[in-house]
């Protein structure tokens, strides 16, 4: 029905102004509208349809105007792009052809890049990048490792500031050192670890120096000495006897301990330098008067009557020597209890052979081993002999200045007390006083009567000392002294 109606209305649809706008019968909108017209009545076509078309036309016009006002800019831009499309399309085609021509080259370049920078192939650039990435991932660990020498130095400085009682800082320093040493064993080829290990060893040397200086303290106690030696065993295990089969039970630590304490003794005795200078002046004066007396006739005016300053010096010297020597040997025996005592006794009795006294007998088995390579003797075997020579050299030099009998007996008694103190530890040298008296008499070139007087002086001092020692032992053992008090004794002790 729509086609005949279209043919009927076709002559009226001609538009000379725009022929291309004439609708065709195949147009869906035209076909739909013609189908609708065929359903209307004649009255509707003459009365309602023109009005409906007028309303639709007006509504369409309003919509077109509204659309034009809203999309003005977009329409203009679309028009501009559309005008440039004729130039853009040839350019796009040209670029597409160029891209198509360059794709094989790009593929060859990508293949070459993948071949060069493959993970299986060796490449310096990749190695540097891998190292950089590895360092970035382990930056925190590297920072912690770099801080280890600083932490160790801080622990050592804190221990030095707090003194020998700082056991926590020492333990921390040892833990840090063992950790760095373990890292050095695992990564021995790493320059960084080697540098840190070198810094650590330098810091541990500082700790060792501090511990050794602690052994040289003048007021060191037994507990502090044992702790210091214990730390030295851990800090410097090379000094321990367990690492050296040729040493005795104390190892090199025993020698180090005695050297440090001997240095302290010498330093303490050097504080008596003003008194020693006065004693030297008295020695010069005595020698000058003695030489004058030897060249001229002996007169009472040129005789020597001094010695007061020498007496003061020797009293202080012997007092310090007695306290320090007993403390050194007793502390050594407490810290190194495995040290044998026989070697010390043998060395102390060696000088007695020149006096005609009996020495310790040497068994044939011991004599057969003299030529063999034996272990290094104990440090304590020769140290008391050195201490004794240190004292007797001083007495030999300055005791001749003291001529007053009471003063000499007081000094010799003080020396006997010192010998008794060391005697409780196996180092009694009281018999060497006889050698001191004979040497003093021979150096003074005196007569036989003076030599006998010197020997009698030594004998009297020994008798008085033993008598006083017996009384003190009796008092210490709790023996009643009422009988002695009735005979005029001034001491009275109640049980």
Express each pLDDT in 37-64 by its tens digit: 788 788 887 888 888 888 988 999 999 8
pLDDT in tens, 258-301: 999 999 999 999 999 999 899 888 888 888 887 776 666 544 44
- The pLDDT mean for the chain works out to 76
pLDDT in tens, 101-142: 999 999 988 888 888 777 776 777 778 888 889 889 988 988
pLDDT of residue 357: 37
Q: Which of 26-35, 44-53, 204-213 has the highest mean pLDDT?
A: 204-213
CA distance 1 to 117: 77
Res 231 pLDDT > 80: yes
Rounded average pLDDT over 383-394? 86
pLDDT of residue 95: 92
pLDDT in tens, 64-96: 888 888 888 888 888 888 888 888 888 999 999
pLDDT of residue 301: 46
Lowest mean pLDDT among 32-36, 54-58, 408-412, 459-463: 459-463
pLDDT of residue 76: 87
Count Cβ atoms within 10 A of the Cβ of residue 332 and give its class: 0-12 exposed, 13-18 middle, 19 or more buried.
buried
pLDDT confidence tier of residue 195, bands split at 50, 70 and 90: very high
* Cα 419-424-429 angle, rounded to 5 deg: 30
CA distance 221 to 162: 16
Beta carbons within 10 angstroms of residue 260's beta carbon: 21
pLDDT confidence tier of residue 466, bands split at 50, 70 and 90: low
pLDDT, greater one: 236 or 474: 236
Q: How far is CA 430 from CA 111, 352, 392, in A?
A: 100, 11, 11
% the chain with pLDDT above 90: 13
Tokens, residue 444: 């003074």
Maximum pairwise Cα distance, the chain = 188
In 3-state terms, the chain is what percent helix, strand and coil (to 5)? 75, 0, 25
pLDDT of residue 442: 53
**171 alpha carbon, distance to own chain's centre:** 10
pLDDT of residue 307: 76
Count Cβ atoms within 10 A of the Cβ of residue 254 and give its class: 0-12 exposed, 13-18 middle, 19 or more buried.
buried
pLDDT of residue 489: 40
Reduce the DSSP state of residue 320 to 3 states and report it. helix
pTM: 0.60
CA distance 21 to 27: 12
CA distance 417 to 472: 12
How far is the first Cα of the chain from the last one, in angstroms, to the nearest whole number?
A: 157
Res 304 pLDDT > 80: no
The closest of 243, 157, 149 to 201, measured between CA atoms, is 149
pLDDT in tens, 136-182: 998 898 899 899 999 989 888 887 777 655 678 888 888 999 999 99
């Amino acid at each position: 029905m729509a086609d005949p109606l279209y043919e009927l209305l076709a002559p009226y649809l001609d538009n000379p102004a725009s022929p291309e706008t004439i609708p065709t019968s195949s147009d869906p909108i035209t076909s739909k509208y013609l189908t609708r017209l065929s359903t209307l009545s004649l009255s509707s076509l003459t009365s309602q349809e023109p009005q409906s078309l007028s309303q639709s036309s007006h509504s369409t016009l309003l919509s077109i105007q509204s659309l034009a006002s809203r999309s003005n800019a977009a329409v203009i831009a679309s028009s501009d792009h559309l005008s440039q499309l004729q130039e853009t399309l040839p350019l796009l085609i040209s670029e597409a052809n160029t891209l198509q021509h360059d794709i094989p080259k790009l593929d060859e370049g990508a293949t070459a890049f993948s071949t060069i920078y493959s993970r299986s192939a060796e490449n310096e650039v990749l190695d540097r990048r891998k190292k950089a990435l590895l360092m970035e991932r382990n930056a925190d660990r590297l920072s912690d490792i770099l801080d280890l020498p600083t932490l160790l130095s801080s622990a050592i400085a804190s221990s030095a500031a707090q003194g020998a009682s700082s056991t926590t800082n020492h333990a921390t320093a040892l833990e840090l050192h063992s950790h760095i040493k373990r890292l050095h064993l695992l990564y021995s080829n790493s320059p960084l670890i080697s540098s840190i290990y070198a810094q650590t060893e330098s810091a541990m040397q500082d700790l060792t120096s501090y511990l050794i200086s602690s052994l040289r303290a003048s007021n060191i106690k037994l507990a502090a000495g044992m702790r210091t030696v214990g730390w030295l065993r851990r800090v410097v295990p090379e000094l321990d006897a367990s690492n050296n089969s040729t040493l005795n039970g104390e190892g090199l630590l025993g020698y180090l301990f005695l050297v440090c304490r001997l240095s302290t003794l010498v330093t303490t005795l050097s504080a008596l330098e003003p008194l020693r200078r006065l004693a030297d002046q008295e020695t010069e004066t005595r020698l000058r008067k003695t030489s004058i007396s030897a060249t001229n006739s002996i007169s009472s005016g040129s005789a020597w009557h001094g010695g007061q300053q020498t007496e003061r010096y020797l009293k202080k010297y012997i007092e310090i020597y007695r306290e320090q020597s007993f403390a050194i040997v007793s502390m050594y025996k407490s810290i190194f209890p495995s040290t044998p005592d026989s070697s010390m006794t043998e060395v102390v009795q060696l000088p007695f052979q020149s006096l005609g006294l009996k020495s310790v007998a040497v068994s044939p088995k011991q004599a057969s081993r003299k030529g063999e390579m034996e272990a290094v003797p104990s440090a304590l075997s020769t140290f008391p002999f050195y201490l004794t020579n240190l004292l007797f050299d001083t007495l030999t030099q300055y005791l001749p200045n003291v001529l007053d009998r009471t003063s000499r007996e007081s000094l010799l008694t003080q020396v006997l007390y010192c010998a008794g103190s060391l005697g409780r530890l196996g180092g009694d040298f009281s018999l060497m006083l006889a050698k001191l008296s004979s040497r003093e008499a021979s150096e003074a070139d005196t007569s036989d009567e003076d030599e006998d007087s010197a020997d009698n002086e030594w004998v009297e001092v020994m008798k008085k000392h033993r008598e006083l020692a017996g009384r003190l032992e009796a008092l210490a053992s709790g023996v009643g002294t009422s009988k002695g008090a009735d005979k005029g004794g001034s001491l009275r002790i109640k049980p």
